[in-house]
Amino acid sequence: MSGAPRATGRLAVEGGQQIYWEEWGERDGVPALFLHGGPGGGLGNSRYRFGFDLTRTRVIGFDQRGCGRSSPHASDLTTSLAQNDTSALVGDIEALRRHLGVDRWIVDGVSWGSTLALAY
């Protein structure tokens, strides 16, 4: 599967943040969350989705607060990072899970994302 994600959106989370999310694969597939490498990173043009069988999986990725297409972006010098910590990111994951109607999911990540997965 290439091209555009099947679904995208923005979710307002605590602290005035908005996180960007996207979905690939089957709507009724096994839900799987991918967590990118964290600060300074994002989903970008990542090929993370190809690590999953998109015929059987509902793959969800999101840009963590301050990163990628989420806002406000940490590169803006007026953006406070006071509420950008591990517990806030774990809260964002849980808010996204509820927003998307997922009961439980596989959680996968790279670099900082693997640490965040363990914290979650």
Report all structural domains of the chain as residue ranges with CATH numbers, in order of start: 7-119 (3.40.50.1820)
pLDDT interval class at 84 (50, 70, 90): confident
Give the pLDDT confidence of 37-69 residue by residue, as tens digits: 977 788 887 789 989 999 999 999 999 999 999
Output the pTM of the full model: 0.92
Mean pLDDT taken over the chain: 92
Q: Residue 42: which of 70, 14, 23 has the closest Cα? A: 70
What's the pLDDT at 83? 83
Given a contact cutoff of 8 angstroms between Cβ atoms, the answer to whether 70 and 19 are in contact is: yes
What does the pLDDT average to over 19-33?
97
pLDDT tens for residues 95-118? 999 999 999 999 999 999 999 999
Parallel, antiparallel or unpaired: strands 17-25 and 57-62: antiparallel
Per-residue pLDDT at 47: 84
Contact between 54 and 26 under an 8 Å Cβ cutoff? The reply is yes
Where on the phi/psi map is residue 11: left (φ > 0), alpha (ψ -120 to 50), or beta?
beta
Q: pLDDT-derived band of residue 1, with 50, 70 and 90 as boundaries?
A: very low
Residue 92 pLDDT class (50, 70, 90 cuts): very high
